[in-house]
């Protein structure tokens, strides 16, 4: 517009020049003729109905003035919005960074996890290799399936030996996940059989770090566990699976080394399958059930009572985290709900108190639309400020939360790239805005029903009808109830965590150093007794170090993953049915294990180191020869108290006998020589303590052993001398994963701790919001009753009485809310039951503490408004109203 | 408006602008010139009133503006009569003739 006017003036100037005026005169004449450009512009703007823009400006100015006039209301609303939106955005961001990431594979929904289970009791177990081969041969619902198991192997290159994570896979593994090698070739069936040359694929990371990204490594040979292995390819950068595994090797050639050729052997391997397009999980389940029962019929001894289990790979991988999801998501929803209720309540209370203002403005000629827009603008302004503050809260909280994420939750090895969840921010913002607008507009909308005269006349009651106030009160009650539920939920999981972490483990994890030592069995040509003697000697050497109290070797380090179970039957009892054959977790240890772990011996004795050793006929025995040797060897066994009580209740277990081995492959007779205390070495919250121990001399299983060293002081101080001693002892086997035993325990706790902290964080926010809400409503109420308080004070009411009346009013809202919350919590309790340990969902201590916390928050929220009420200056109050 | 020097009857500017645009689109100055020319220089449009009126007519949807190049090779906003504007012009013309006839009637009777 300005340009058009300018052009017009210029044209006039030109015309005047043509008429013979000088440029200066011409310009002056033109401007005179035209008039002030600014005035014209302004008049044009009016005409053009640019009015709305100016009105918006006026609305905004007015809104800002209103905010300043009611600072408490504004502050409380903005804080609510900031906390509600900010906290939810941050927490949700953390959740989506950890738990909700889709699996990094093409069409991840088609990936299925398969393992085996006992039909009776539904215990899952690893898949036996022959069973897997039958599955692979018979199944038709998967486009491919692959067995896999991870292990650490000794990899020798040049002079150095390293401990490297290796994933043993079927040749179809990469196809199943949806990858092709970036370099070289994929495995073929010809790589995946007994007796063929061994091959390996490197992860991109291993290729980079260990081989300097040298493309010529393909075709080179390296040495894994004493075996020559040819590098055939490199995986793409995008490959993600268990991050510990740097190498992939086909399982076929290793099956015999790992004793996996027997159908009875269910060792650590599980199966992943990719469903054919359009096939659903249930169809696959039905087929696998049929296949499993066919195998069961064919091999009743080994497969009696064993079926297949299928779940989606995602459920399998995030399974444990899943249980907490419901809880966390409910917490997110509750906090958002509380924030909305808060906003609704505040805005409602605020706008109800303005009905006189509305009436005046309506009387002065403001249309309903105009008033609605004014309120809308005010809500918008508040939401905008609150949302911006929420963004700041979210950013701050996110940084704090990310540092809490335990590494274990991110098993695919991606670094924690925090993903700020804009959707959540937008969602929280929209929901709170909608609430604010809805409740803020209600009074303006009802304008028609407001009688101007009544509103203007009715000075003492200051407006709002009882019905409206009741709604506000109900909102506060609801809010207190919701907060109660969350605080109780948080209290329950917190107490579970405490119970879990303070429960006696049954051994002393302090002052114990643990370390893994690579197995020499490959180098020793598979001689089991020699491998056992190797660890026995290592433990003895460590035990002689200065500052060491006791040292021992164990087949399974405490909290270092234990899957050693073995079947057995008790002597002199009827032979149990194969489907219900007893089985128990066991450990193979050297004689000082119980001293080093601090596990008390309750009865009899433990191992002496003098047990007759396993002695197969030849240096490198085959399976048959080994079994023969085992059958001829009477073994000593040590059992836990629970074990003794379960199998010989009320009897002296010493001297009793067990027959070790599955129903169809009886191995050795074990004589119980001692009973030790129960101890929790597998997982926190372990319920089953029926375990037994065998001597490394008698069952030097082919596995790798760990070493534990109890020092007289700080075990970390021993680290160097232990490492040096092991180096002197063996230069070929790697020493790795050295950790203070207590830190292994702490790691297991960390995932759980993380979730508990999240829930506790939500509860804290909820509590704060509820307190803010109560405070806001009460403060508002007091503000509106200033005149009433003034009169009462003037008539001689004591300030104490005024304070009491505010508290009474506050608690009239808090107590019903609390009661409802307690009821709701006890009803919801069953849904968190699986998250709890050692306490009931209706734990009295938690309920009491949570109620206490709410009451304290309520007292604080009442306190300030009450104080203000009691300090009203009567004269001031009467004059201003 | 229009009290000092022009002889425009109050409320007729809109109609005159519409009339000036009846034949072809014109820019602001040309509209003023055209009114002056049609009235044989009796009527002079006050420049300051012209643009508010143009914007008002545009907001009513009777005329439409677009940028173009003037006869002196300058950038200028050209206003064009819309069909609605044409109808409005007819209405105004009809209204005007009735009013003027009535006024004549009043004024001619002694």
A267 bridge partner residues: none
A551, A707 in Cβ contact below 8 A? yes
- Residue A404 is predicted with a pLDDT of 59
3-state secondary structure of B31: helix
Token duo for residue A274 = 């990719």
User: Are A35 and B58 a contacting pair at CB < 8 A?
Assistant: no
B56 interaction partners in chain A (CB closer than 8 Å): 47-48
List the Cα angle A173/A175/A179 in 5-degree steps.
100
Token duo for residue A853 = 């916390």
Neighbouring residues of A238: CB distance < 8 A, sequence distance ≥ 6 = A104, A179
Q: What integer is the mean pLDDT of A677-703?
A: 85
Instruction: Give the single-character DSSP code of A546.
Output: T
* A133 confidence band (pLDDT: 50, 70, 90): very high
CA dist., res. A160 & res. A319, Å (int): 39
Q: To probe the interface with A, which of B48, B54, B71, B76 has the most A CB atoms within 10 Å?
A: B48
A249 bridge partner residues: A168
Region of poorest pLDDT, from A53-67, A414-428, A756-770: A414-428
Asked casually if ipTM beats, i.e. exceeds, 0.90, the reply is no
> What is the separation of C-alpha A72 from the centre of its chain, rounded to a whole number of angstroms?
38
CA dist., res. A376 & res. A387, Å (int): 16
List the Cα angle A416/A421/A423 in 5-degree steps.
155
* A410 confidence band (pLDDT: 50, 70, 90): very low
Shortest CB distance from A40 goes to which of B48, B59, B74?
B48
Answer whether residue A779 shows pLDDT above 60: yes
User: Are A34 and B48 a contacting pair at CB < 8 A?
Assistant: yes
Neighbouring residues of A865: CB distance < 8 A, sequence distance ≥ 6 = A775, A778, A779, A781, A782, A806, A810
CB burial of B60-75 (b: ≥16 within 10 Å; e: otherwise) equals eebbebeeeebeeeee
Q: Which residue of B has its CA nearest to A42?
A: B52
Instruction: Give the single-character DSSP code of B3.
Output: -
**Nearest CA to A116 among A104, A125, A128, A105?**
A125
Answer whether residue B18 shows pLDDT above 70: yes
- Residue A330 is predicted with a pLDDT of 76
| Number of Cβ atoms within 10 Å of the Cβ of A123 | 12
Q: What integer is the mean pLDDT of A638-653?
A: 93
* A600 confidence band (pLDDT: 50, 70, 90): very high
Quickly tell me which residue has 């509305």 as its tokens.
A358
Shortest CB distance from A44 goes to which of B27, B29, B51?
B51
Answer whether residue A22 shows pLDDT above 70: yes
What is the maximum span of chain B, computed from C-alpha positions, in angstroms?
55
Q: How far is CA A520 from CA A245, A290, A540, A555, A732, in A?
A: 20, 42, 17, 14, 8
Region of poorest pLDDT, from A628-642, A825-839, B57-71: A825-839
A36 interaction partners in chain B (CB closer than 8 Å): 48
Q: Which residue of B has its CA nearest to A49?
A: B59
CA dist., res. B108 & res. A421, Å (int): 83
Q: In this predicted model, what pLDDT tens digit does every residue of A492-527 receive, in sequence order? A: 888 887 887 777 888 888 889 999 888 776 666 666
Shortest CB distance from B75 goes to which of A7, A46, A49?
A7
Region of poorest pLDDT, from A95-99, A219-223, A320-324, A329-333: A320-324
Q: What integer is the mean pLDDT of A434-448?
A: 63
* A491 confidence band (pLDDT: 50, 70, 90): confident
User: Residues of chain B whose C-beta is under 8 A from some C-beta in A?
Assistant: 27-29, 46-48, 51-53, 55-56, 58-59, 70, 72, 74-77
Answer whether residue A37 shows pLDDT above 60: yes
Q: Which of A116-125, A256-265, A844-853 has the highest mean pLDDT?
A: A844-853
Helical pair A844-870 and A741-784, crossing angle rounded to 10 deg:
30
* A186 confidence band (pLDDT: 50, 70, 90): very high
Quickly tell me which residue has 């309750």 as its tokens.
A602
A43 interaction partners in chain B (CB closer than 8 Å): 48, 51-52
CA dist., res. A473 & res. A464, Å (int): 13
Phi and psi dihedrals of A586, rounded to 5? -140, 160
- Residue A841 is predicted with a pLDDT of 80
- Judged by a CB distance cut-off of 8 A, whether residue A11 touches chain B is yes
Region of poorest pLDDT, from A15-19, A27-31, A47-51: A47-51
Phi and psi dihedrals of A22, rounded to 5? -70, 165
- Residue A449 is predicted with a pLDDT of 52
Q: Could you tell me the sign of the dihedral formed by the alpha carbons of A487, A493, A497, A499, in that order?
A: positive
- Residue B37 is predicted with a pLDDT of 84
Give the residue ranges of DSSP H helices in A214-299: 281-298
Q: Is the pLDDT higher at A524 or at A429?
A: A429
- Residue A288 is predicted with a pLDDT of 94
- Judged by a CB distance cut-off of 8 A, whether residue A48 touches chain B is yes
B27 interaction partners in chain A (CB closer than 8 Å): 8
Quickly tell me which residue has 């150095």 as its tokens.
A160
Q: How far is CA A302 from CA A117, A118, A130, A448, A704, in A?
A: 13, 12, 11, 83, 26
Q: How far is B97 from chain A, CA to nearest CA, in Å?
A: 27
Answer whether residue A101 shows pLDDT above 80: no
Q: Which of A64-73, A180-189, A400-409 has the highest mean pLDDT?
A: A180-189
Q: Write out the H or E segment, with its range, that includes residue A311.
A: strand A306-312
- Judged by a CB distance cut-off of 8 A, whether residue A42 touches chain B is no
A224, A200 in Cβ contact below 8 A? yes
Answer whether residue A694 shows pLDDT above 80: yes
- Residue A353 is predicted with a pLDDT of 67
A83, A765 in Cβ contact below 8 A? yes
* A577 confidence band (pLDDT: 50, 70, 90): confident
Q: In this predicted model, what pLDDT tens digit does every residue of A51-85 receive, in sequence order? A: 566 667 777 787 788 778 777 778 878 888 888 87
Extract the runs of DSSP E, i.e. beta strands, from A363-481. none
* A405 confidence band (pLDDT: 50, 70, 90): low
A35 interaction partners in chain B (CB closer than 8 Å): 46-48
* CATH entry 1.10.3720.10 includes domain B13-107: no
B72 interaction partners in chain A (CB closer than 8 Å): 11, 14
Shortest CB distance from A40 goes to which of B29, B51, B70?
B51
What is the residue-averaged pLDDT of chain A?
81
CA dist., res. A604 & res. A596, Å (int): 18
CA dist., res. A771 & res. A720, Å (int): 54
B46 interaction partners in chain A (CB closer than 8 Å): 35
Q: In this predicted model, what pLDDT tens digit does every residue of A335-388 receive, in sequence order? A: 878 887 777 777 777 766 676 677 777 767 666 677 777 777 877 788 778 888
Q: Is the pLDDT higher at A223 or at A157?
A: A223
Answer whether residue A411 shows pLDDT above 50: no
Q: How far is B18 from chain A, CA to nearest CA, in Å?
A: 17
Residue percentage of chain A with pLDDT more than 90 = 25
**Nearest CA to A504 among A281, A637, A685?**
A685
Instruction: Give the single-character DSSP code of A575.
Output: P
B77 interaction partners in chain A (CB closer than 8 Å): 4, 7
CA dist., res. A80 & res. A487, Å (int): 18
Neighbouring residues of A80: CB distance < 8 A, sequence distance ≥ 6 = A339, A342, A343, A346, A386, A769, A772, A773, A776
- H, E, C per residue of A763-821: HHHHHHHHHHHHHHHHHHHHHHCHHHHHHHHHCCCCHHHHHHHHHHHHHHHHHHHHHHH
A8 interaction partners in chain B (CB closer than 8 Å): 27-29, 47, 51
Q: Write out the H or E segment, with its range, that includes residue A838.
A: none
B27 bridge partner residues: B78
Shortest CB distance from A12 goes to which of B29, B53, B75?
B29
CB-side neighbour CA atoms (13 Å) of B104: 6
Q: In this predicted model, what pLDDT tens digit does every residue of B32-91 receive, in sequence order? A: 888 888 888 777 777 777 888 888 888 888 898 888 887 777 788 889 889 988 998 898
CA dist., res. B68 & res. A319, Å (int): 70
* B6 confidence band (pLDDT: 50, 70, 90): very low
Q: How far is CA B88 from CA A29, B20, B54, B62, in A?
A: 35, 13, 14, 7
Answer whether residue B101 shows pLDDT above 80: yes
3-state secondary structure of A78: helix
- Residue A92 is predicted with a pLDDT of 73
CA dist., res. A397 & res. A335, Å (int): 15
- Residue B5 is predicted with a pLDDT of 44
A29-37 contacts, C-beta under 8 A, 24 or more apart:
A33/B47, A34/A5, A34/A8, A34/A9, A34/B47, A34/B48, A35/B46, A35/B47, A35/B48, A36/B48, A37/A2, A37/A5, A37/A6, A37/A9
Neighbouring residues of A762: CB distance < 8 A, sequence distance ≥ 6 = A87, A91, A328, A331, A332, A334, A335, A486, A490
Shortest CB distance from A48 goes to which of B27, B59, B70?
B59
**Nearest CA to A492 among A825, A67, A730?**
A825
Q: Could you tell me the sign of the dihedral formed by the alpha carbons of A810, A816, A819, A825, in that order?
A: negative
């Amino acid at each position: 517009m300005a340009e058009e006017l300018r052009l017009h003036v210029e044209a006039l100037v030109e015309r005047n020049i043509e008429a013979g005026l000088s440029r200066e005169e011409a310009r002056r004449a033109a401007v005179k003729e035209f008039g002030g450009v600014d005035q014209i512009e302004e008049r044009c703007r009016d005409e053009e109905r640019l009015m709305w823009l100016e009105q918006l400006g006026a609305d905004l100015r007015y809104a800002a003035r209103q905010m300043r006039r009611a600072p408490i209301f504004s502050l409380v609303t903005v804080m609510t919005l900031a906390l509600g939106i900010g906290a939810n955005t941050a927490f949700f961001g953390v959740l989506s960074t950890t738990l909700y990431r889709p699996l990094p594979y093409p069409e991840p929904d088609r990936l299925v996890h398969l393992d085996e289970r006992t039909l009776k009791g539904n215990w899952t177990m690893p898949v036996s290799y022959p069973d897997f081969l039958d599955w692979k041969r018979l199944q038709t619902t998967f486009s491919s399936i692959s067995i896999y198991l991870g292990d650490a192997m000794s990899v020798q290159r040049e002079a150095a030996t390293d401990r490297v994570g290796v994933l043993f896979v079927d040749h179809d593994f990469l196809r199943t996940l949806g990858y092709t090698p970036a370099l070289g070739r994929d495995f073929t069936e010809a790589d995946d059989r007994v007796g063929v040359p061994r091959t390996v694929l490197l992860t991109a990371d291993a290729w980079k770090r260990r081989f300097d990204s040298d493309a010529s490594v393909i075709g080179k040979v390296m040495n894994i566990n004493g075996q020559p292995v040819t590098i055939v390819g490199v995986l793409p950068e995008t490959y993600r699976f268990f991050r510990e595994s740097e190498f992939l090797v086909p399982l076929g050639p290793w099956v015999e080394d790992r004793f996996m050729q027997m159908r009875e052997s269910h060792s650590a391997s599980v199966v992943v399958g990719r469903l054919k397009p359009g096939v659903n999980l249930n169809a696959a389940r039905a087929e696998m059930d049929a296949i499993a029962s066919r195998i069961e019929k064919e091999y009743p001894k080994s497969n009696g009572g064993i079926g297949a289990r299928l779940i989606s790979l995602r459920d399998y991988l995030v399974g444990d985290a899943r249980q907490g999801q419901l809880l966390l998501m409910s917490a997110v929803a509750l906090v958002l709900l509380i924030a909305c209720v808060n906003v609704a309540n505040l805005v409602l209370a605020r706008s109800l108190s303005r009905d006189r203002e509305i009436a005046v403005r309506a009387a002065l000629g403001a249309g309903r639309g105009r008033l609605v827009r004014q309120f809308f603008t005010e809500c918008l302004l508040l939401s905008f400020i609150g949302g911006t503050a929420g963004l700041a809260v979210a950013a701050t909280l996110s940084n704090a939360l990310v540092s809490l994420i335990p590494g274990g939750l991110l098993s695919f090895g991606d670094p924690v790239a925090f993903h700020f969840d804009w959707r959540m921010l937008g969602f929280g913002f929209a929901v709170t805005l909608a609430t604010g607008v809805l409740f803020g507009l209600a009074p303006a909308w009802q304008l028609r029903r407001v009688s101007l005269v009544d509103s203007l006349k009715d000075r003492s009651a200051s407006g709002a009808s009882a019905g409206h106030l009741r709604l506000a009160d109900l909102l506060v009650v609801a809010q207190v109830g919701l907060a109660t539920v969350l605080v109780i939920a948080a209290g329950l999981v917190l107490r579970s965590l405490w119970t879990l972490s303070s429960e006696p483990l049954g051994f002393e994890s302090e002052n114990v150093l643990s370390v893994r030592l690579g197995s020499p069995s490959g180098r020793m040509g598979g001689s089991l007794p020699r491998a056992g003697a190797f660890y026995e000697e290592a433990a003895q050497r460590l035990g002689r170090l200065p500052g060491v109290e006791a040292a021992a070797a164990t087949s399974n380090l405490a909290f270092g993953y234990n899957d050693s179970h073995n079947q057995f039957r008790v002597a002199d009892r009827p032979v149990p049915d194969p489907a219900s054959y007893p089985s128990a977790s066991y450990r193979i240890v050297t004689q000082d294990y119980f001293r080093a772990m601090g596990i008390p011996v309750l009865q009899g004795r433990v191992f002496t180191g003098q047990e007759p050793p396993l002695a197969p006929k030849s240096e490198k025995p085959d399976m048959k020869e080994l079994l023969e040797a085992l059958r001829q060897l009477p073994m000593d066994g040590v059992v836990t108290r629970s074990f003794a009580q379960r199998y010989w209740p009320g009897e002296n277990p010493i001297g009793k006998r067990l027959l070790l081995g599955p129903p169809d492959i009886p191995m050795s007779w074990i004589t119980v020589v001692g009973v030790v205390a129960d101890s929790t070495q597998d997982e926190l919250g372990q319920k089953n303590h029926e375990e037994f121990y065998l001597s490394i001399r008698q069952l030097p299983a082919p596995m790798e052993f760990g070493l534990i060293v109890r020092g007289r002081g700080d075990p970390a101080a021993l680290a160097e001398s232990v490492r040096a001693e092991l180096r002197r002892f063996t230069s070929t086997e790697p020493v790795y994963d050295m950790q203070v035993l207590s830190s292994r325990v702490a790691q297991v706790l960390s995932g759980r701790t993380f979730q508990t902290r999240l829930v506790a964080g939500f509860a804290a926010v909820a509590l704060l919001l509820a307190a803010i809400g109560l405070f806001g409503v009460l403060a508002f109420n007091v503000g509106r009753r200033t005149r009433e308080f003034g009169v009462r004070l003037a008539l001689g009411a004591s300030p104490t009485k005024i304070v009491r009346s505010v508290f009474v009013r506050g608690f009239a809202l808090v107590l019903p809310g609390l009661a409802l919350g307690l009821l709701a919590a006890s009803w919801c309790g069953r849904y968190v039951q699986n998250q709890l340990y050692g306490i009931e969902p209706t734990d009295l201590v938690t309920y009491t503490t949570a109620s206490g916390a709410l009451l304290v928050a309520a007292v604080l929220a009442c306190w300030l408004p009450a104080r203000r009420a009691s300090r009203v200056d009567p004269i001031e109050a009467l004059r201003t109203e | 408006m229009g009290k000092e020097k022009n002889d425009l009857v109050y409320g007729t500017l809109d109609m005159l602008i519409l009339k000036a645009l009846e034949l072809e689109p014109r820019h602001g100055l040309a509209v003023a010139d055209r009114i002056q020319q049609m009235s044989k220089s009796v009527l002079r449009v006050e420049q300051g009133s012209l643009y508010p009126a143009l914007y008002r007519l545009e907001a009513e949807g009777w005329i439409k503006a677009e940028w173009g190049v003037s006869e002196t090779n300058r950038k200028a906003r050209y206003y064009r009569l819309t069909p609605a504007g044409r109808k409005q012009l007819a209405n105004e013309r009809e209204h005007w003739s009735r009013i003027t006839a009535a006024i004549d009637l009043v004024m001619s009777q002694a």
